[in-house]
Amino acid sequence: MLDVRRLRLLRDLARLGTIAAVAQAHAYTPSAVSQQLAALQRQAGVPLLERTGRRVALTPAGATLVGHADAVLAALEAADAALTAARTGLTGTVRIGAFPTAVRTVLPAALVALGRDHPALDLLVAELDPVAVPDRLRDRLLDVALVHDYDLVPAEPDPALESLPLLAETVFLAVPEDGPAGVREARHADWISGSPGTLCDAVTWRVCREAGFRPRVRHHADDFPAVLALVSAGQGVSLVPELAAGRPPAGVRLVPLALRRRTRIAFRRGAGGHPAVAACVAAIRASTRAYLGGEWSPWADSTPS
């Protein structure tokens, strides 16, 4: 019988590329990871790894085994969910990740409801960029997370995760009152973008490229109130999603774009039936509905991805 912990290490080697990266992700030493992978190879009875210079690569048999790893791990998540559902009451720690806009808007009421209805749950919240969420979920550092993408920059499906749609927002171009009327007209303007490597930065560059130019990024800011304050001060223009655009400061005009930011509730594949995960999903959906004043996006009733 193959060891599940070792199977997870092999899957992460395929994802991360080096034993050193796997060791860092699991707080192991590289030597310990190598020993565990060697033990897995002995269990499998066929070569799973081969040396290519200083690096290791998966053999065809190793790649085949990795292809089954996500299904095995999802089945174990589902089994754990079923056992937990058989117990009375919800207890334990639930680690929730969310991007800053969600932490300020739709998440607080969900936390209040969860604390009221399930007082034995220990709720831990981490604010982070959606780019970091998949790894945190796979590594079991998060249990539930709010993530988003844009229709112009869709997220790639992840076989280790599943998600439920929550809402779709209009994205605005925030400009000074006498600023440009749209993205094309802002080709000569200064831009305010997210930090390099964030999804907000990626979508800014993609939107401008679609409009036929490279943005002249003058400022980087990840906090939307700070972004809007910079726009109000005449420091440039920026993309701002609807959740962050409710009360813009004086001197800011919001131009709606044909661009949507789509938010989803994500968790490890197979964990959707876990009572704590299901409770989080229900509470977040209810708080989102309340925050939007009862308006509910039809997109939110779609099936899991």
**Token pair 């079923």 is at which residue?**
82
pLDDT tens-digit series, residues 231-278: 999 999 999 999 999 889 999 999 999 999 999 999 999 999 899 999
**Per-residue model confidence (pLDDT) at position 131:** 86
Q: How would DSSP label each residue in 215-234?
A: -EEEEE---HHHHHHHHHTT
For 23-48, the pLDDT digits (tens) are: 888 888 888 888 888 888 888 888 88
Query: Counting Cβ atoms within 10 Å, is residue 86 exposed (0-12), middle (13-18) or buried (19+)?
Result: exposed
**Does pLDDT of 191 surpass 90?**
yes
pLDDT above 70: percentage of residues in the chain: 95
- What the chain holds in terms of domains, given with CATH numbers, is 4-84 (1.10.10.10), 89-159+263-301 (3.40.190.10)
Task: Using pLDDT thresholds of 50, 70 and 90, give the confidence band for residue 301.
Answer: very low
Tokens of 16: 């991360």
Higher confidence at residue 161 or residue 3?
161
Q: Check residue 297 and give its pLDDT.
A: 53
At residue 298, the pLDDT reads 43
Q: How far is CA 263 from CA 74, 128, 196, 204, 282, in A?
A: 23, 14, 21, 18, 15
Query: What gap in Å lies between CA 214 and CA 208, rounded to an integer?
Result: 6
